[in-house]
Amino acid sequence: MFSSRPHLTLRCSGPLLLITHLGLRIFLPHPSLAPDLILFNLIAGITALVVFYSPAFNDHLARKVIGIAIFLWGIGSFLSTWNSFLNQNVPEIAIDLCYSAFYPLLLFGVIRALTLPARRNSIRGEVIDTLIIGLGISGICAGLALRSAMENFEGSALSVFLTIVYPIGDLILLAVTIALLILQRGTVRSFLLLMGISIFTATDLYFLWQSSTSIYEFASLSDDGWLLGLIFIAESLWHHGGEGEISQRFNSIAAGISLIASSGVLFIAAVRPRYFPDFIIYIASTTILLAFLRLLLALKDARSIAEQRELARTDELTGLPNRRRFLAEIETLHHRAGTLMILDLDGFKNINDLHGHLVGDQLLRTIAHRFARAMPSYSHLARLGGDEFGAIIYGNESVGLESAFALRATLSYPIAIADLTLDAGVSIGRVFHPADVEPIAREELLRRADIAMYQAKRERSGTAIWATPSEVYQP
C-alpha cells in the first residue's frame, strides 16, 4: 500500500462521507437537497479523484479510464437528482449517455487493471474489443430479455431497453472480473474489484426489482450501495495486482462470444422479421462490423510484427541479414556439411577516413551487392558489423574453397563511386564442418574462422582455412 498523508486523507474522505450520508438518511428519511443532491454526488466525485491520484505502478490508461467512468456516473447521478429535486428538464438522453458510457469504460479499465500483457502496442484493438464485448453481450442479452421486460416496465422499447441493459452490463463486469480472478492468482486488487463490482451489481439488480414492482422510493437507503461499490473499485487501484499476461487471449474469447451472439440475433431477425426492435438490429450489425474492423487491425498488427522482426534481423545499411540472424543460421551446420567464412575488408578504414562516411557507406553497399551476386544458391551472407561479413556455404570443402575464390574475385576490379575510383580487398577465414562429426559449438566455429581470417590477412594470401588448433594453412 502506497500513500502520503494528503492521499490517505483523500482515500478516507469517501468512506467517512458515505457513513455521514447513511446517518443523515436514517435521521432524515425524506429526500432533501443537501444530502441527496450535493453530498451523495460529492462522494462520487471524490471517488473519481481517488482513482486519478492512485499510485504510478498502475497502468496509466486503466487509471484514467476508470476515473473517467466513475466521474461520468457521478455526472449522470447529479443530473438525474437535479431533475428530481428542481423539476428541471435536463434531457434524459444526457443522463443515459453518462450512465451508458460508464460500463464500457469501466470494463476496459478493469481488464487493463487486472492484466499486464507482454505486448501492448495496439490500444485501438483493445478499445474495439471492449466495444464488441460491451455492445455485443449486453445489447444482445438485453434485446433477448426485452419482450418479457416490456410486460413489467412502462415506456417505449428503447427506455425499457436502457433500464435492463445497465444490470446486464453489471453482470458482464462481474463475470469478467471473476474470470480474470480465476485465470490468475488472486490479489488484494482483484478481490477489492470483485467486491466493488458485486456490491454495485447487487444494488442495480435490487433497484431493477423495486422498479418492476413499483416500490422504489427516490433517495432510499439502498442507493448508497452504488457509492460503496465505487469506493471499493477506487481503493483496489491502491494495491498491487494485474501481473498475469492474459488480456489478449481473454479479449479474443469474449469478443468471439459477442460476435456469435450478434450473428444469432441477425439470423433470428431474418427468419422472424420485427421480432426485435430496429435498434437491437443496429447494435448487432455494429458489433459484427466492429469484429471485421478488429480482424483487419489484427492482420495489420501481425504484418507489422513480422516486419519488425525482419528489421531486427536485417542490416539497415546493406539490406543483408545482420549478426543476430547469421548466428542463428550457424546452427544449421550441426545438421549438414558446410563452410563458415569470416570476410574482413582490406583497405576500407583508409578509404573511410580519407573520403568520409558517406563514401564508406556506399562502398559497403556496393561490396555487399557484389558478394551477394557471387554466393551460390542455398547459402547465407550477412554483415556482421563494420567492414566484416560472414558467409555459410553448404557442400563439401571444395565448394567452400571455390566460393571463397569467387568472393575474392568480386573485388579484383575497382569500384566507382561518384567521381572516385576505389580499390578494396578482402581477407577470408574459413572453417569446414563435416556432417558426420560431433557438432562444434557456434562460438568455437566463429573463433576458428576468425583465426584463419587473421592468418590470411597477415600472409596476404586472401583466404585461409582452419585446419588444427596449431595449424592454419593457405589453399
305 & 338 share domain: no
Give me the domain span that covers residue 467.
Answer: 323-473
Question: What pLDDT is attached to residue 469?
Answer: 43
Amino acid code (one letter) for 85 = F
Mean pLDDT, to the nearest integer, of 409-420?
Answer: 90
Looking at the structure, do residues 307 and 331 belong to the same domain, yes or no? Answer: no
Q: What is the pLDDT of residue 151?
A: 63
pTM higher than 0.85 for the full model? no
Residue 409 has pLDDT above 90, yes or no: yes
Please say which residue of 311, 339, 373 terminates a domain. 311
Residue 429 belongs to some domain of the structure: yes
Residues 363 and 447 in one domain: yes
In a domain, 93, yes or no: yes
Asked if residue 290 and residue 214 are part of one domain, the reply reads: yes
**d(Cα 10, Cα 123) in Å, to the nearest integer?**
31
Q: What is the mean pLDDT of residues 226-243?
A: 87
| 3-class secondary-structure state, position 237 | coil
**Considering only 28-32, 56-60, 68-72, 407-411, which range has the smallest mean pLDDT?**
56-60
Confidence of residue 470 (pLDDT cuts 50, 70, 90): very low
The answer to whether position 316 is within a domain reads no
Same domain as 20, residue 70 = yes
Q: Band the pLDDT of 116: cuts 50, 70, 90.
A: low
Residue matched to cell numbers 412502462 = 154
pLDDT of residue 171: 78
Confidence class of residue 336 from pLDDT cuts 50, 70 and 90? confident
Mean local confidence (pLDDT), 190-194 = 89
Q: For residue 383, what are the contacts with CB-CB under 8 A and spacing of at least 6?
A: 315, 317, 318, 320, 321, 322, 323, 364, 368, 389, 390
User: Average pLDDT for residues 120-138, to the nearest whole number?
Assistant: 67
Q: What is the DSSP string of 86-150?
A: H-----HHHHHHHHHHHHHHHHHHHHHHH---S----HHHHHHHHHHHIIIIIHHHHHHHHHHHH
257 within domain boundaries:
yes
**280 and 401 fall within a common domain:** no
Buried b or exposed e, range 109-140, using 16+ CB within 10 angstroms: bbbbbbbbbeeeebeebbbbbbbbbbbbbbbb
The total of structural domains in the chain comes to 2
355 and 452 fall within a common domain:
yes
Most confident listed range (54-58, 114-118, 355-359) = 355-359
- Indicate whether 334 belongs to any domain: yes
Find the mean pLDDT for residues 54-75: 89
pLDDT above 70 (res 69): yes
Q: Are residues 461 and 357 in the same domain?
A: yes
Residue 461: which CATH number? 3.30.70.270
| 412 assigned to some structural domain | yes
Least confident of 26-40, 371-385, 415-429, 444-458: 26-40
Q: Which residue has the higher pLDDT, 58 or 198?
A: 198
Quick check: is 152 in a domain?
A: yes
Percent of the chain surpassing pLDDT 70: 81
Average pLDDT for 59-85:
91
The most confident of the ranges 24-28, 241-245, 456-460 is 456-460
Looking at the structure, do residues 110 and 176 belong to the same domain, yes or no? yes
Other CB atoms within a 10 A radius of the CB of residue 73 amount to 25
Considering the domain architecture, whether residues 148 and 275 belong to the same structural domain is answered as yes
Q: pLDDT band at 72, cuts 50/70/90?
A: very high
pLDDT value for 474:
46
Domain boundary among 311, 345, 370: 311
CB 321 within 8 A of CB 381: yes
At what angle are helices 123-133 and 247-271 packed, to 10 degrees? 40
Q: What is the mean pLDDT of the chain?
A: 82
Question: Both 400 and 457 in a single domain?
Answer: yes
Residue 464: left (phi > 0), alpha (psi -120 to 50), or beta?
beta
Decide: residue 153, CB within 10 A, 0-12 exposed, 13-18 middle, 19+ buried: middle
Whether 67 and 51 have beta carbons less than 8 Å apart is answered as: yes
Domain for residue 318, yes or no? no
**Residue 392: closest CA among 338, 318, 436, 431:** 338
Which pLDDT value is given to residue 104? 85
Query: Do 269 and 362 share a domain, yes or no?
Result: no
**Which of 311, 346, 370 lies at the terminal end of a domain, its last residue?**
311
